[in-house]
Amino acid sequence: MKISVLTLGCKVNECESRSIVSALRSMGYDVTEELTFADVYVINTCSVTSEADRKSRQYIGKVVKANENAKIYVCGCSSQNDPGVYTKYKNVVYISGNGNKNDIISAITSDIVCKMPVCSGNIPDVFEYMPIPAHEKTRDFIKVQDGCNNFCTYCIIPYLRGRSRSRTIESILSEAEESSLHTKEIVLTGIDVSSYGKDIGSSLTELICALGRLNIRKRMSSFECSVVDDKLLEAMRASGFCEHFHLSLQSGSDNVLKKMNRRYTTAEYYDKVELIRKYFPNAGITTDIITGFPTESESDFADTCDFVRKVCFSDIHVFPYSERKGTRAAGMKQLPMEIRRRRARELIGIGSELKNDFLRKQIGRTLSVYLEEDNDGAVSGYAENYVRVYCEGKPGEIVNVCVSELYKEGVK
């Protein structure tokens, strides 16, 4: 029996899907992560926006085109948010959300067919352990935490993923040691990595220190500025963590941040950026920003543009605000979509300028690059500060190179 596991959304979803892949392969099944002909499909859905919900449902049609007789098992955030919408598809035989994802493995192997709205239990109160994910790419992502307690007014995820819950350091170390046999770099990921350890009497700094014993490159996924302090940065520097920090900002206006329930000011955020650069002078600092949040004025948006230039981000991910039913922001007075998109285009332009400025600062520097891809002889990978570098070598190698010029979306 051939099984296809398809994933939408975040790196946490990818980790969970690869756990399902790993378990099924260990049982002798032919498993792929490609959208191709298969007898059984697992669709791990996303619901971060309404568009993500639509794409998740759209995958049902794509799968049926690949095999009109296929059995489809659905899990993830979209089916957690609205399981009933998936019951109308005749090929869907099993629907679950984000709780007890291990059950989908036994459901497939036992050929369980279920047409109830939700086939597995509620979101657990403690971290749910899954098999060690299959090793598919050059670097491995390790899920260290799940859930979120922040309840930002625009975000549905805390309602779909549950409260923050952490994995034990021992378990993380065990997976990291396994990963070190297959890769030269690991990335810690979760729904809210900043909250790691609070529920189990530990901390993110303690985890970082523990990982220092492993001779492997380490990287952090997105986290909040509130967790940044001297102890954390000292631990990251001593433990071999890369000098890349994805600090979620969302807005450069204090008025908007308050309405978003972000719990920090731009002044506090900037102080954290300065502290990072004290320990990592050539750090790549990237962020996410939402434009056109409800009631965002032209003055608020101008504040965001000014603040982005002040911070000098190495890259920015910009998203026009999208209403999400079930969140507090959805009930606020909305701005026209044309304003949201216009502001997004303007901010993307500023972000491109800042990115090129940061890339130019790399010229003449020697960077340590983990090579990952070879596209028709163009070998590339990422430096520790997450600059994409094109150079000679083979995927899987870490090489030290001197940057000579800007090239494509990175440097050469």
pLDDT tens readout for residues 287-326: 999 999 999 999 999 999 999 999 999 999 999 999 998 9
Tokens of 4: 């296809």
The CA–CA distances, whole Å, from 11 to 84, 141, 231 equal 25, 7, 27
pLDDT-derived band at 219, boundaries 50, 70, 90 = very high
Better-scored residue on pLDDT, 350 or 116: 350
Please give the sequence-ordered ranges of beta strands (E in DSSP) within 194-283, or none if there are none.
Answer: 217-220, 244-246
Query: What number of CA atoms fall less than 13 Å from residue 47's CA on the CB side?
Result: 25
Mean pLDDT in residue range 378-390: 96
Dihedrals phi, psi of 269, to nearest 5 degrees: -60, -45
Residue with tokens 């049609």: 61
Supply the DSSP symbol for 330.
G
Dihedrals phi, psi of 169, to nearest 5 degrees: -60, -40
Better-scored residue on pLDDT, 264 or 88: 264
- Cβ burial of 90 (10 Å; 0-12, 13-18, 19+) is exposed
pLDDT-derived band at 47, boundaries 50, 70, 90 = very high
DSSP 228-253: --HHHHHHHHHTTB-SEEEB--B-S-
Mean pLDDT in residue range 93-117: 80
What pLDDT does residue 116 have?
A: 53
Dihedrals phi, psi of 26, to nearest 5 degrees: -65, -20
Distance of CA 3 to the CA centre of its chain: 25
Give the ranges where 280-327 is alpha helix by DSSP (H).
298-311
What pLDDT does residue 114 have?
A: 55
Residue type, 361: K
Residue type, 205: T
Nearest to 78, CA basis, from 47, 100, 123: 47
pLDDT-derived band at 113, boundaries 50, 70, 90 = low
Query: What number of CA atoms fall less than 13 Å from residue 386's CA on the CB side?
Result: 22
Give the ranges where 280-407 is alpha helix by DSSP (H).
298-311, 337-361
CA distance between the termini of the chain: 45
What pLDDT does residue 112 have?
A: 61
The model's pLDDT over 168-186, given as tens digits with 9 standing for 90+, comes to: 999 999 999 999 999 999 9
CA torsion sign for 370, 241, 278, 222 is: positive
Q: Are 142 and 168 in contact, with CB atoms under 8 Å apart?
A: no
**CB count, 10 Å around CB of 264?**
16
What pLDDT does residue 117 have?
A: 46
The model's pLDDT over 256-267, given as tens digits with 9 standing for 90+, comes to: 999 999 999 999
Supply the DSSP symbol for 364.
T
Mean pLDDT in residue range 63-91: 92
DSSP 146-179: E--S---TT--HHHHH-S-EE--HHHHHHHHHHH
Tokens of 101: 């994802």
CA torsion sign for 316, 191, 157, 224 is: negative
Q: Are 142 and 186 in contact, with CB atoms under 8 Å apart?
A: yes
The model's pLDDT over 146-167, given as tens digits with 9 standing for 90+, comes to: 999 999 999 999 999 999 999 9
Please provide the average confidence, as pLDDT, over all residues in the chain: 94
> Is the pLDDT confidence value at 137 over 80?
no
pLDDT-derived band at 99, boundaries 50, 70, 90 = confident
Nearest to 193, CA basis, from 208, 178, 181: 208
